[in-house]
Amino acid sequence: MGTAPRKLHDAGQSIWLDYITRDIVEDGTLQRYIDELSLTGLTSNPTIFDKALGSGDSYDGQIAELLGEGKRGEELFFELAITDLRGAADLFRPVYDRTDGVDGFVSLEVSPELAYDGERTAEAASRLHGQADRPNLFIKIPGTPEGLPAITESIAAGIPVNVTLLFDAAQYEAQADAYLKGIERRIERGEDPSVASVASIFVSRWDVAVADEVPADLKDRLGSAAAIRAYVAYRRLLDSDRWQRLENEGARPQRLLFASTGTKDPALPKTKYVLELAAPDTVDTMPEETLLALAEGDDIGGVLPADGGDNEELLRRFEDAGVDLDELASRLQSEGAKKFEDSWNDLLEVISGKESAVGAAG
């Protein structure tokens, strides 16, 4: 077992797992990752649950119980997901307590069908967080323009939020403004301004999108470059007068999270994005195979400088090659929302199939 996970953690970056199944929660696998691989959190999404529910019979017993209670479809799914995430949250609770609520979180996504309905998203976030009944559970809300008011409302209500589906610095800054407005609202009301949140920048999809459009020397370099630009914006925000006023009132930073850090190209090292985005005061959530690949090594290289080094020069090279970065970020966000909605629909079909199979067996 290599020392790279511990070195990354010691450099100031939290390592989270972008994966969950009932088996890894209950069979000791997740606890082992916590103990041996410096794992301090976990994220989930409809695609992950789709795969978990579609394989094996680990969920059949609870499905039978829920069917007996008259629960079906979306309601039944959230009961299953929350059971898994409660279990994971309890395993991470010592981390949450040790870090005084900075780390040790798990994440549950609202229905992707709500990505463009801010009011219903905020209502769902409140309901799901209450149903889960764990302080170290984030509700994932998409950082689409329509989702921004839901971010403000949820933070103002004291609900921990993982803002998802962010692709560039501009989208990061827009959701950060929404987050800060929620904190400011709490301060105005005399409420505790310390509400945990992360902002998730998706990495690998950039490189997939331009794989056939850029010169060979730029291939597989845009994802990290876009994420580094967002990191620079994040560090700039932490130095701003607006943030420092809120911090003086007791607010805590909304940490930047690097998501979609598994490589899509099998020719690339599995840890490519992880090592390129080693940055203090951030989170990296990675697929299981990426985590295990990281654990095979002993070196993480250096950490990102707060100013991004020569990253802007690299991004200009992409623009010179004809890549419209703003347009592509907007397209990736729209496509990402559509992909999650498609996965959601697939998941509901799996749930329906399980309902039929378990019901027939009962």
Q: Does residue 182 form part of some domain?
A: yes
Q: Quick check: helix, strand or coil at residue 286?
A: strand
Question: How does pLDDT run across 287-315, given as a tens digit for each residue?
Answer: 999 999 999 999 999 899 999 999 999 99
- Structurally, how many domains does the chain consist of? 1
Host H or E run for residue 247: helix 241-248
Q: Residue 263's domain is classified under what CATH number?
A: 3.20.20.70
The pLDDT of residue 34 is above 60:
yes
Distance CA 122, CA 151 (A): 7
Top-confidence residue, 337 or 279: 279
60, 83, 336 from 52: Cα distances, Å: 12, 13, 20
Least confident range of 17-21, 121-125, 207-211, 287-291: 121-125
Q: Does residue 362 form part of some domain?
A: no
Q: Does residue 118 form part of some domain?
A: yes
Residues in the chain: 362
Q: Quick check: helix, strand or coil at residue 9?
A: helix
Question: How does pLDDT run across 172-212, given as a tens digit for each residue?
Answer: 999 999 999 999 999 999 999 999 999 999 999 999 999 99
The pLDDT of residue 88 is above 80:
yes
Q: Does residue 24 form part of some domain?
A: yes
Share of the chain above pLDDT 70, in %: 99
Question: How does pLDDT run across 59-75, given as a tens digit for each residue?
Answer: 989 989 999 999 889 89
| Residues 272 and 252: beta-carbon distance below 8 Å | no
Active site residues: 140
Q: Does residue 349 form part of some domain?
A: yes
As a whole number, the mean pLDDT across the chain is 94
Q: Does residue 243 form part of some domain?
A: yes
Mean pLDDT of 246-251: 98
- Expressed as residue numbers, the domain containing 153 is 4-357
Name the one residue in this structure whose structure tokens are 């501009």: 170
Q: Does residue 164 form part of some domain?
A: yes
Q: What letters, b where the CB count within 10 A reaches 16 and e where it falls short, cover 25-52?
A: beeeebbebbeebbbbbbbbbbbbbbeb
Q: Does residue 246 form part of some domain?
A: yes
pLDDT band at residue 361 under the 50/70/90 scheme = low
DSSP 175-239: HHHHHHHHHHHHHHTT------EEEEEE-HHHHHHHTTTS-GGGTT-HHHHHHHHHHHHHHHHHT
| Residues 184 and 155: beta-carbon distance below 8 Å | no
| Residues 212 and 264: beta-carbon distance below 8 Å | no
